[in-house]
A and B are shown apart, each in its own frame.
Chain A
Amino acid sequence: MSVFDSVIIGGGPAGITAALYLVRSGCRVALFEQLTMGGQVLQTESIENYPGFPKGIKGWELADTLAAHLDDLSLERATGKISSIVQKDDVYVLSVEGKEVIAKTVILCSGAHHRELGLPREKELTGHGVSYCAICDGNFFRGQEVAVIGGGNTALEETLYLSKIAAKVHLIHRRDAFRGAKIYLDRLESMTDRVSILRSSVPVMLHGDAEVEGLTISSVKTGESRLLPVKGVFVFVGNTPNTAFLPKNVQLDEQGFVITDTEMRTSVPGIFAAGDVRSKQCRQVVTAVGDGATAAQAAFLYLEQKNV
């Protein structure tokens, strides 16, 4: 069986960039993605802060444009989910959909997925009023009242998006201060007729049998609760890294993100991590592509040293 210089797990911005750099360096590369190339970029309506696109770019457009870099390059690309990685002597054996793939290095670009609120009946009501993607589901709530939960950039961006569709958007955040960009918050605060910002509040109960018919929120300061007559609840409370397949000796932080040094090296020699799966402060497309290039270069140097 042939041995790849590098297997890249995940086809988001980090994985695409890592593949691009490694193939151009002359490495034999395989890239595995479970869905279509692009990762979480595909779930973003428009991206305004990726340099090179001063007028902004649609998420799917950026995903396609990034993926097009790989079109003329020679590498293995496959749809598949990695279920385990086992070190055997000098190489890693990855199990992909029941088949084995062997590689000298592994670059983890598996990203993250949305975190849930953890409210009772949240799972049953997902797709029936509970949503994690405003651009996908916003249209089903045209002219209705909805809630957005969260305080980061994603929550603010999605509230802006929903404010153009819904009759009213309640933005609910457990703290007083928002982590998201001031430019978004300023825009939202000026839309007092359509956006109500409820600080220091947490969602406590979803109402409705077949569909969401309301949400009870509670003030973390006074304990007072209040029923919002919303038909939609959009949840943007952070991400959980996709790491279930990782060997135990890859060190993770308290939230489960992969710890690396500044060269994207994990605690296990030969395994690198890039993008949202990595433990870091700033999770953006622009940092993901930077991580991808750095990880590729580190993997290339590692391979060179091994081959001497």
Chain B
Amino acid sequence: MAEQVTDATFESVVLNSDIPVLLDFSAPWCGPCRAIGPVIDELAGEYEGKVRIVKMNVDENPLTPTKYGIRAIPTLILFKGGEVLEQMTGAVAKPALQDLIVKKALA
């Protein structure tokens, strides 16, 4: 299962992480978010220790989505050393996410 991040824990979990972080901005009522939810959970297990894969509920955490100009969900942002490396919007299938992780996060 992918860990839930909040506005309060965002800095310590995402920005100050010593490994790359893939953050899924989502909400429980959003269909495409539900569609990729299980894939995000699977990836969190597969890349444990190499890439931290986490989710943020945009309903309960308004500050971080605003800071990153999120206007659509699901939006996935890949962070490395606190910087935004890549951003993707929509229900992306697993191979595309694995590709992103291998080519960008682990490169």
Contacts and interface: CB of A to CB of B under 8 A. Distances in A.
Contact of A135 (B30, B36, B37, B71): B30
A43 B72 contact: no
Given A35-B35, A36-B35, A81-B93, A136 B30 contact: yes
Given A127-B87, A136-B72, A59 B31 contact: yes
Given A36-B38, A81-B93, A127-B89, A133 B71 contact: no
A97 B39 CA distance: 15
A79 interface: yes
Nearest to B35: A35
A114 to B, nearest CB: 9
Q: How large is the interface on B (under 10, 10 to 19, 20 to 34, 35 or more residues)?
A: 20 to 34
Classify the interface of chain B: helix, strand, loop or mixed.
mixed
A275 interface: no
A36 B71 CA distance: 23
Contact of A97 (B35, B42, B75, B95): B95
Interface in A124-180: 126-129, 131-133, 135-137, 140-141
9 contacts: A35-B36, A36-B35, A63-B34, A79-B39, A126-B72, A127-B89, A135-B31, A137-B72, A137-B73
Interface of A: 34-36, 38, 41-44, 59-60, 63, 79-81, 97, 126-129, 131-133, 135-137, 140-141, 210-211, 232
